Amino acid sequence: MNKFVLLLGQTGLIGNKIYQHIKHMEYQKIYCLSRKSINYQDEKTIFVQYNDLETDLEEKLQTILEKNKGQWIVFLFTGETIFGFINDKKWQNIYKSRVKINQKVISVLEKLNIEVLKIFSASAIGIYYKSKDLEVDENSEIQDNIISNLIRDWEKTIIDSKYSDKSVIMRIGAVLDKKSKISQSLLVPSLFSIGINFSPSSYFPWIYNEEIPRIIEFLIQNDFTGIINTVSNNYITFREFLELYITTHSIFRKAFIIDLPLRILEKSLKLLMPKYYELPYSLFCSPKIIPHNLIKTGYSFKYNDIREIVGMI
C-alpha cells in the first residue's frame, strides 16, 4: 500500500531537520503545508501554501488526502516562538499556531476517516513549569498556569482524537543547532566572554537537533505511542551550559558570568508584559527533566556529549 507523509512546520528548525531526514525514505509523496511561499519542488515533495487557518487550510488538506489513497504518517510541528515581547496579538498567534492548527488537521483526518500509521506532534517541556518536584518525568503532576495550560490544550488535540493510540507527543527541550534561537542569542556576547545567569540556576533540558529524526525513526520501528520527554539524559544546569558555550566560542577562551537573582528577571518581565511574562520566564525555571519513556524503550542517544555538541554549534 502507498505511504504518504503530511508535514506541517517544515520551515521551522525541527520541521526542516525532520524533512531532510524523511525525504530519503520510501514514501510516495511528502506534502509540506506552510503559510510561507516555497518555490522548491521535486518529484517526491510537494509544498502547499495556505493563507487562512479556518477555510483555506481545511480545503487544501482535504484535497490532498482525497487525492492520495493510502496510509499516512503525520508530523505536526508548527508553533510560533515564545522568544521576544509578547502582547495579545502574539499570544493569539502562539496559541493558534499550536492548538488551532492541530485541531484543524485532526478534524479533517477524522472526517475523511484517513488511515494513519503514526502522528508525531510537538509539545514542550515547559509543561513542567512551576513543578513541585525538582526532578520530573512524563508521569509527574502538572500544575495549573499559563504555560502548562497552553501545552495541555496543545496535547489534548491529539489525546482526545480517534488517533490517540497511534500518536506520539514529543515534549521537546531546548533544541541545540547553529540556527537555534539559543545559539544566535549567545554567540555575540560569548565572543567577548560575557554571559548572564539567573540564580538559583535551573536545569537546562537540551536536545541536539540531529537527534530528533533518529528518535522519530526509532519510535516508528518500535511502534511506540504516548508521551516522551525529548531531552538528553546528560543533565546540566543552565550555568554549566553557559560557561561551556562561552569558553568554547570566546576569543579569550574564558567565561565571565554575571549571576543575577532570578527575581530581577521576573520583576522586569512583569513590567514589560504583565499578562504573559511567564512564557519567557519559564525558560529559566526548569526542573531536572528525565526522558523516562524514551529510556524505557531502549533508545540510545547518539548525540549526548554536550561538549562535542557545543563545539558543533
Q: Give the mean model confidence (pLDDT) for residues 188-201.
A: 94
Residue 40 has pLDDT above 80, yes or no: no
**pLDDT per position as a tens digit, 221-260:** 999 999 999 999 999 999 999 999 999 999 999 999 999 9
| Average pLDDT over the chain, rounded to an integer | 95
- Return phi, psi of residue 45, to 5°: -105, 135
Task: Kindly indicate the confidence band of residue 178, based on its pLDDT and cuts at 50, 70 and 90.
Answer: very high
Short-list 42, 17, 38, CA closest to 30 = 42
pLDDT in tens, 104-156: 999 999 999 999 999 999 999 999 999 999 999 999 999 999 999 999 999 99
CA–CA separation, 28 and 23 (whole Å): 10
User: Does position 55 have pLDDT exceeding 90, yes or no?
Assistant: no
Identify the CA nearest to 121 among candidates 233, 280, 14, 279.
14
> Cell digits for 221?
520501528
Confidence class for position 78, pLDDT limits 50, 70, 90: very high
228 vs 173: CA distance, rounded Å: 11
Fold of 3-173+204-231: Rossmann fold (3.40.50)
Omega cis (within 30) before 287? no
Q: What is the pTM of this model?
A: 0.95
